[in-house]
Amino acid sequence: MIQETKIALKNAGKIDPMSIDEYLNSGGFQGLKKAMHIEPVKIIEQVSDAGLRGRGGAGFPAGMKGRFTDEAICHYCGPKYLICNADEGEPGTYKDRVIMEQDPFLLIEGMLISALSIGAGKGYIYIRGEYTESIRKLKNAIDQCYKKGFLGKDCLGENLSFELELRYGAGSYLCGEELTLLESLEGKRGYPRIKPPFPAQKGLFGCPTLINNVETFAHVPYIIEQGPEHYKKFGTEKSPGTKIFTVSGDVKNPGYVETEMGVTLEQIIELCGGMKDSKPFYAALLGGAAGTFVNKEVLQTPMGFDTLKEKDAILGSGAVIVMNTERSIYDMMESILEFFKHESCGKCVPCRVGTNQLLIMFHQMVNQAKGDRAKMLEKMKQEAEYMAANSLCPLGSSPILPIGSISKYFKEDF
């Protein structure tokens, strides 16, 4: 059986997340120590060489993001910001919560190294308001870091200060999208911005900004400490490293596992004790609501950003929702479509009207005869494709993912 490989969760469950001393004793802040003695541009290079891809869902190369931000910075003008996206709201996903609750200092270390790399003096962690336990742990971690001099004036060396602030979201899924997050941080309604310009050029308050997900930051200290070559030994060629998969639904022991990229769905289910009550596997929803349904054809496919793409599936945030043969794909679909309708911000027409229209079409479909349902599903797919092509932000381009994958893998049920 495959073993777990832990990078982001290396300390999880082993140390007291409320104690900076325990973090230090377990080898904490070694990556930061090393980073303070290398050139900032080399830090970005190492992250880039390691092939680290953003763990928030899109899988954008983290090193490239760093380089764009670095290029956009003119060294003598204005502040630059570092932001951690902890607005985890994708249904089925709770990897960031686990990191923040079990090893908040690792996140702060990753942020400190990234702050060094772009010379940011101010950082924010934008966390969703519902994560009260994570907020409690992070608040304590930030306080302790200030007391020990890991944050604050000259914490990164002479004339290199870094201030870190915790900011709370207020129950909007869309604010997890990076440009919308910036709007929310600036105190506005969470409407997405048109891009370009990207945050690297014009981010928070119009300044160059580097935004990464919690899990992405949690990989940075390891890469700097052990070197990119060592990091690349884990995972697949195009998706190096490890990934936290949050498994829920009809498995025996639902929970989270951190394994190398390239693990198969079957192995993940096995790590979670197999199917609950030995009922047969029917489907899995990978990546949450903005994710894809797959059937048993994909059980053996290595889970990586590119390998799943070949199967018209996505890895997304690492959510794995397992369904047995007694579950209905219709119920899941309804829940997802309601979700999109509720979370659409209403700024752009294709998404505002489209998410509503999809739900209406769904309700018409369920009352139809088999065969007619398949035709309606195709219509819904067309509508979702139209939305994807014309919406401003990723929310409008998301419904095509579940609908398209249902049409590909579960057509015989319609």
Interface ranges with another protein (CB under 8 A): 88-94, 97, 129-133, 167-173, 184-190, 205, 246-249, 254-256, 285, 288-289, 319, 321, 323, 327, 331-332, 335-336, 338-339, 342-343, 345
Nearest distance from C-beta of residue 24 to another protein, angstroms: 29
By beta-carbon proximity to another protein, the closer residue of 21 and 186 is 186
Report DSSP state, residue 303. -
**Please, what's the largest Cα pairwise distance for the chain?**
72
By beta-carbon proximity to another protein, the closer residue of 94 and 217 is 94
Q: Which strand (E) or helix (H) includes residue 396?
A: none
Distance (Å, rounded) from C-alpha 188 to C-alpha 264? 42
By beta-carbon proximity to another protein, the closer residue of 20 and 321 is 321
Nearest distance from C-beta of residue 232 to another protein, angstroms: 30
Nearest distance from C-beta of residue 325 to another protein, angstroms: 13
By beta-carbon proximity to another protein, the closer residue of 337 and 365 is 337
73 within 8 A of 118, measured Cβ to Cβ = yes
Nearest distance from C-beta of residue 162 to another protein, angstroms: 18
337 within 8 A of 113, measured Cβ to Cβ = no
Specify the pairing of strand 209-213 against strand 81-86: parallel
Nearest distance from C-beta of residue 233 to another protein, angstroms: 29
Distance (Å, rounded) from C-alpha 259 to C-alpha 256? 10
**Burial of 76: CB neighbours in 10 Å, binned 0-12, 13-18, 19+:** exposed
95 within 8 A of 87, measured Cβ to Cβ = no
Report DSSP state, residue 198. P
Nearest distance from C-beta of residue 39 to another protein, angstroms: 32
CA quadruple 56, 61, 67, 73: dihedral, nearest 10: -30
Nearest distance from C-beta of residue 129 to another protein, angstroms: 5
DSSP state letters, 124-189: EEEE-TT-HHHHHHHHHHHHHHHHTTSSBTTTTSTT--BEEEEEE--S-GGGGSHHHHHHHHTTS-
Nearest distance from C-beta of residue 172 to another protein, angstroms: 6
Q: How many C-beta atoms surround the C-beta of residue 202 within 10 A? A: 18
By beta-carbon proximity to another protein, the closer residue of 223 and 400 is 400
Q: How many C-beta atoms surround the C-beta of residue 68 within 10 A? A: 17
Nearest distance from C-beta of residue 140 to another protein, angstroms: 16
Q: Pull the structure tokens for residue 206.
A: 């119009």
Residue whose C-alpha is closest to residue 241's, from 220, 264, 256, 255: 220
By beta-carbon proximity to another protein, the closer residue of 20 and 207 is 207
Q: Pull the structure tokens for residue 351.
A: 């998404």
By beta-carbon proximity to another protein, the closer residue of 12 and 43 is 12
By beta-carbon proximity to another protein, the closer residue of 32 and 174 is 174
Q: Pull the structure tokens for residue 35.
A: 């980073």
Task: Give me the helix-helix angle, 40-49 and 214-226, nearest 10°.
Answer: 100
Nearest distance from C-beta of residue 74 to another protein, angstroms: 23
By beta-carbon proximity to another protein, the closer residue of 288 and 396 is 288
By beta-carbon proximity to another protein, the closer residue of 205 and 360 is 205
Q: Pull the structure tokens for residue 337.
A: 């479509």
Q: 């995972």: which residue's tokens?
A: 235
Nearest distance from C-beta of residue 49 to another protein, angstroms: 33
By beta-carbon proximity to another protein, the closer residue of 246 and 307 is 246
